[in-house]
Copies of this chain bind each other. A is one copy, B any other.
């Protein structure tokens, strides 16, 4: 498997000595995930960090009444996991599901802790990755608190370029916190505006 995309993502954050990279590479496992399969189940303790090599994933909450809320999406080139579950060893509050056939790389949290001990560069990588996750989460909070459904739709298009054509309207609506009918209305209004 081609590890280059992973190395590129890490080395954008800080310099990774060759020896360190070889160590991590020896610990990476590759998985094929079929469309619809769950990579992480809600209620299960997750212990792996994933990198999306190809495909699309959704992270979603399932309410007791069966309603789903998509909390986020993952596309190629991104690290992802149920972070709280991994670092606190608690059951994941949400599930991660492939929305396309996908290929992911992964390594365990135990390996990540070993990396932190081995070399300073991994602490930098760990801190910067979690900073990026934090900023995303703050953005999401702001969207939920402050923005209208139409504004949230525009922000979705900006944040996940190209994703609109890869996933169903149901999943976009579930991310925006609106019904598919409301989403259809918003898209209809936008089409009309673009024709004027």
Chain A residues within CB distance 8 Å of chain B: 61, 63, 69, 71, 83-84, 87-88, 93, 116, 120, 123-124, 126-127, 130-131, 133-135, 137-142, 144-146, 177
Contact = CB atoms under 8 A, between A and B. Distances in A.
A130 B63 CA distance: 28
Contact of A130 (B93, B134, B146): B134
A144 B145 contact: yes
Contacts of A123: 120, 123-124, 127
A32 B30 CA distance: 54
21 contacts: A69-B146, A83-B131, A84-B134, A84-B138, A84-B139, A87-B135, A88-B135, A93-B138, A93-B142, A116-B124, A120-B120, A123-B123, A130-B130, A130-B134, A133-B134, A137-B138, A137-B141, A141-B144, A144-B144, A144-B145, A145-B177
Contacts of A134: 83-84, 130, 133-134, 137
A145 B127 CA distance: 27
A69 B126 CA distance: 31
Give the 10 A-B residue pairs with the shortest CB-CB distance, closest first. A123-B123, A127-B127, A137-B137, A69-B145, A134-B134, A130-B130, A84-B135, A126-B127, A144-B144, A120-B120
A87 B145 contact: no
Contacts of A131: 83, 87, 130
Given A83-B138, A131-B87, A61 B145 contact: yes
